[in-house]
Every structure is written in C-alpha cells, then in structure tokens.
C-alpha cells in the first residue's frame, strides 16, 4: 500500500509583506530535506531576508490524492515587455476572457494588486467577462496549495526542462501550480508574472492553450507581480477557493515540453 503524503507549505514575509511561498506534497522520507530547502530559500531571497517564516505540515491520506497530468509547456519568444503583454492579451482573448477583464487584471498586477503598491500573497479571482474582482480578501487573495509532482514525474520534468535551458526552479513550481489551477471548476485561464525583481518571465495557462511561457512580462528590477485566475461569471467563489486550497493534486504524468518559438509563429 502507498504510504500517506505530507503537505508542506511555506510562507515567508518581511515586516508583514509577502516575500516568498512554496507548496509541496511529499513522502515522509523527503519531508526533512524539503523543510531545510524552503527555510534556506526564505533566508536567501533576492528581495531580502525573511523576518518571519511559517511552515505548515499536514498529513494527506494517499487515497484522497487526485492524480493528474501536467499541461504541455511552450515558450513563446517576445522581444520585450511591450510585445510580451500584447501577446498575453491576444492569448487570453482566445480563451474567452474579455478585453475589459484582461486590462483590469494586468493594470492591478502592474501596480501591486493588494493596493498601495503592495503585492498580494495569493491570486486575484477575476470575472472573465466583467473584470470584477471576486476574491473576498484583496491582500491575501486565493492561494492554490497542496499540489506537487510525484517523484518520478519530477525527475522526468527536470530532465526535459534542463534540455530546454529552463532549469530554473520557478518554471517547475509555476507549471505545477498552473496545472492544478487549470483543472479547477470555473477557472477559464490564468495569468502570472513573478514579483521577484530579477525574474521577468510569466505565463498564460488554460486547459485549451496549455502552459505558454513568455520571457518578458515585466522589466528587470520591477518588484510588482501577481496572479489572476479568470473565472466564469456566476462561479461560486467559496467552493472554488476551498478546492484550490484544500484538494490535494499529485501530478504523476508530465505534458509535452516543446522548444521555444517566436510568438508570431505560434499557431495553436
Ligand atoms: P511568484 O511566481 O512566486 O513570484 O508569485 C507571483 C505572485 O503570484 C505572488 O505575488 C502572489 O500574488 C501569487 N502567488 C504566489 N504563490 C501563489 C499560490 N500558491 N497561489 C496563488 N497565488 C500565488
């Protein structure tokens, strides 16, 4: 019988502001090493050293795990942030998100979606038609948690990503998060760019498009970033938030990892 897993969640902050977070699902033998790695990460973040690190560890019965497959990944090459954001706009339009919803999400992310120039800890829930923000707490947002790769899938994905020159941990973690979010009931598409000032890449992900990574969605040095989960109008927010936060998803299979192509040549 397969042993139970543990959910490990890390949140690090400085003076109450979000600094870094991570979500893992691990077999007991891998837990201690992962705790050490996440503490180290919080203490050596490029944006500063954490002054508070919270770790939560909860057992997850293996029978409760939902087993899934990651979306396919492709990098679409863009020259700069202007082309990157224009590409994002067109991609999201293809998933049915309206102009007004795209603009409202991107404006919030570019300014710090928590207000007063601050980044959110989690994601915005944006009505895909009206652009209205539906998350109850505009600072915390919604956190997707309790998702990870099974050990064999992690090994395979690391090999594929390294072969494409995408060995950065951010890519792997974002792909897993996006894989869970794209399966969520009511979610149409997701947009993300990092709040790490040294990391300018971001992505659009949906069930139909897969995970499309764009190398420039902000300029280097910009500390603002965020996530928007675009949802179908009328989606009940509480059950969606519960699913995103609590339903454990383990990816046992990876999707296809395609080589990069210029954005203009992308024809799904
Ligand atoms: P990161 O890619 O870690 O730099 O995160 C970029 C932004 O995405 C953060 O500022 C948060 O707003 C949001 N975010 C980070 N982790 C999560 C998560 N687990 N669930 C939802 N949103 C997240």
| pLDDT for position 155 | 96
Which amino acids bring their CB within 6 angstroms of ligand 1?
A: 21, 23, 119-123, 141-145, 174, 177, 192, 194-196, 225-227
Q: Judge whether residue 198 has pLDDT over 90.
A: no
| pLDDT for position 216 | 97
CB atoms within 10 A of CB 16: 9
How far apart, in whole angstroms, are the C-alpha atoms of residue 171 and residue 169? Answer: 5
How far apart, in whole angstroms, are the C-alpha atoms of residue 258 and residue 106? Answer: 26
- Protein residue with least CA distance to atom 1, ligand 1: 194
| pLDDT for position 118 | 87
How far apart, in whole angstroms, are the C-alpha atoms of residue 17 and residue 22? Answer: 16
Structure confidence by residue, pLDDT tens digits, 138-194: 989 999 999 999 999 999 999 999 999 998 888 999 999 999 999 999 999 999 999
| pLDDT for position 27 | 94
Would you tell me the crossing angle of helices 99-111 and 81-94 to the nearest 10 degrees? Answer: 140
Structure confidence by residue, pLDDT tens digits, 219-239: 999 999 999 999 999 999 999
How far apart, in whole angstroms, are the C-alpha atoms of residue 101 and residue 251? Answer: 30
Q: For 41, phi and psi rounded to 5 degrees?
A: -65, -40
Q: Judge whether residue 2 has pLDDT over 90.
A: no
pLDDT band per the 50, 70, 90 thresholds, residue 74: very high
| pLDDT for position 46 | 79
In ligand 1, which atom is closest to the CA atom of 177?
19
Fill in the DSSP letter of residue 130.
T
Fill in the DSSP letter of residue 263.
G
Q: What is the mean pLDDT of residues 82-98?
A: 98
pLDDT band per the 50, 70, 90 thresholds, residue 242: very high
**Gyration radius (Cα) of the chain, Å:** 17
Which of 22, 139, 192, 203 best tests ligand 1's pocket when mutated (most atoms within 8 Å of CB)?
Answer: 192
Cβ partners under 8 Å of residue 243, min gap 6:
184, 185
Among the listed residues 134, 119, 139, the one whose alpha carbon sits nearest the alpha carbon of residue 195: 119
Which of 145, 225, 243 best tests ligand 1's pocket when mutated (most atoms within 8 Å of CB)?
Answer: 225
Among the listed residues 264, 254, 242, the one whose alpha carbon sits nearest the alpha carbon of residue 72: 254
How far apart, in whole angstroms, are the C-alpha atoms of residue 77 and residue 30? Answer: 36
CB atoms within 10 A of CB 121: 19
Q: Judge whether residue 122 has pLDDT over 80.
A: yes
Would you tell me the crossing angle of helices 151-163 and 169-182 to the nearest 10 degrees? Answer: 120
Which of 9, 148, 182, 227 best tests ligand 1's pocket when mutated (most atoms within 8 Å of CB)?
Answer: 227
pTM: 0.95
How far apart, in whole angstroms, are the C-alpha atoms of residue 82 and residue 230? Answer: 22
Structure confidence by residue, pLDDT tens digits, 17-73: 888 889 999 999 999 999 999 999 999 987 789 999 999 999 999 999 999 999 999
């Amino acid at each position: 019988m397969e042993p139970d897993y543990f959910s490990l969640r890390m949140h690090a902050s400085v003076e109450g502001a979000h600094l870094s977070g991570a979500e893992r699902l691990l077999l007991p033998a891998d837990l201690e090493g992962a705790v050490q790695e996440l503490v180290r990460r919080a203490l050596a973040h490029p944006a500063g050293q954490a002054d508070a690190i919270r770790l939560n560890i909860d057992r997850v019965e293996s029978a409760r795990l939902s087993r899934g497959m990651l979306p396919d990944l492709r990098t679409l090459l863009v020259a700069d942030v202007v082309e990157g954001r224009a590409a994002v706009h067109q991609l999201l339009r293809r998933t049915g998100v309206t102009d007004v919803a795209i603009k409202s999400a991107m404006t919030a992310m570019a300014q710090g979606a928590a207000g007063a120039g601050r980044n959110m800890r989690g994601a915005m829930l944006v009505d895909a038609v009206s652009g209205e923000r539906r998350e109850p707490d505009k600072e915390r947002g919604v956190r997707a948690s309790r998702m990870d790769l099974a050990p064999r899938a992690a090994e395979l994905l690391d090999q594929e990503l390294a072969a494409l020159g995408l060995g950065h941990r951010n890519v792997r973690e974002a792909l897993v998060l996006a894989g869970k979010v794209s399966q969520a009931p009511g979610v149409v598409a997701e947009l993300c760019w990092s709040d790490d000032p040294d990391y300018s890449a971001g992505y659009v992900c949906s069930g139909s498009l897969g995970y499309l990574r764009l190398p420039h969605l902000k300029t280097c040095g910009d500390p603002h970033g965020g996530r928007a989960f675009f949802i179908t109008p009328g989606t009940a927010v509480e059950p969606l938030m519960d699913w995103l936060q609590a339903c454990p998803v383990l990816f046992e299979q990876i999707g296809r990892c395609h080589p990069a192509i210029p954005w203009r040549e992308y024809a799904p």
